[in-house]
Amino acid sequence: MLTGKRTWLFKNNPVILSAAAVGGPDEAAGNIAADFDLLHDDMWLEQASFEKAQTMMMEQACDIALKKANINEKNVNFFVSGDLTNQITPTTFAARTLEIPYFGLFSACALTTESLALSAFLINGQGADYVLSGTSSHNSAAERQFRYPTEYGGQKPPTAQHTVTGAGCVLLAKQGKGPSVTSATIGKVIDMGITDPFNMGGAMAPAAVDTIVTHLKERNVDASYYDLIVTGDLGKIGHGISMELLGKQGIKLNDSNYKDCGMTIYKDDQQVQAGGSGPACAAVTTYGHFMKKIFSGKLNRVLLVATGALHSPLSMNQNDSIPVIAHAVSIENGCEQA
């Protein structure tokens, strides 16, 4: 059901049966290492390229989620996913291995919530019984595409962020035991004219604020309705800006009920500048760390707001500004299925 202009209410309460998170070496040394299902100690995963390593992590995350739920991939109707590597080929190659009908998406680092919202929409509308939803990224693949190869040794300013190496996945179903996806607010593209590719948090913060404000208004709830509102990868810079902008809108949040995946995943002494980023940032932090808290009942109502910068190497070389977007999805315990 559509409420307002941008928010879906999922009356049939699509269920998250299982979740999986796979990470790399930096994530293994990070703040939430214990919440991953699988961690790798090298960036290559014994593959011929970083992109192939990214594909393998996506395959592993899907396999883990299926095994946790004891569901065969042949029973899954759709795989809904994407990434930010050229033409989303790592995800497409994972779909080739899975042999599950596939929706390939692009929304940059907002892919976690874009894929989750569309997957829940399919389930809620009786268009599927089971859907795999997730995304991935690889630090070295992203550096090679958007900036400079890591071997170049380029210096980054404090506002820059560190692309997460990992993959996260959930298995949604029309029935079963688990938390429900209860609503989703679809973001609109916002462009504040920012052109600095090393300040993604500052560029994306206004989009996160717009989506959060719209979600609360169209769902007719206060921010206090949620135990936690978590953004995808605003990092230290964007998190601070967004909190200030939300305050001006009369939405008062603090460090206990408003967190950022990019600030959660790594330790303070890791060399990640302003925090984590990349599609996997929201995916592994949510589907690993926060989902464990949801499944255990420590968190019962969570609003996930993943943000994405929709630029490309071509657009940056042409001196275009950075358009951004944010999608929000609510995950709740204790919802009865219609």
List the chain domain ranges.
1-338
Spatial contact of 219 and 9, defined as CB atoms under 8 Å apart: yes
182-225 residue pLDDT tens:
999 999 999 998 888 778 788 899 999 999 999 999 999 999 99
CA distance 164 to 25: 10
Task: Determine whether domain 1-338 maps to CATH 3.40.47.40.
Answer: yes
What does the pLDDT average to over 319-326?
93
What does the pLDDT average to over 235-243?
93
pLDDT at site 197: 79
Token pair listed for 99: 């042999």
Token pair listed for 75: 């029973």
| Residue 69 parent element (H or E) | helix 50-69
Q: How confident is the model at residue 61 (pLDDT cuts 50, 70, 90)?
A: very high
Token pair listed for 157: 């300013």
Residue 156 phi, psi dihedral angles, 5° rounding: -115, 145
251-309 residue pLDDT tens:
999 999 999 999 999 998 998 887 899 999 999 999 999 999 999 999 999 999 999 98
128-180 residue pLDDT tens:
999 999 999 998 888 877 766 666 566 677 777 889 999 999 999 999 999 99
Q: How many CA atoms lie within 13 A of 40 on its CB side?
A: 22
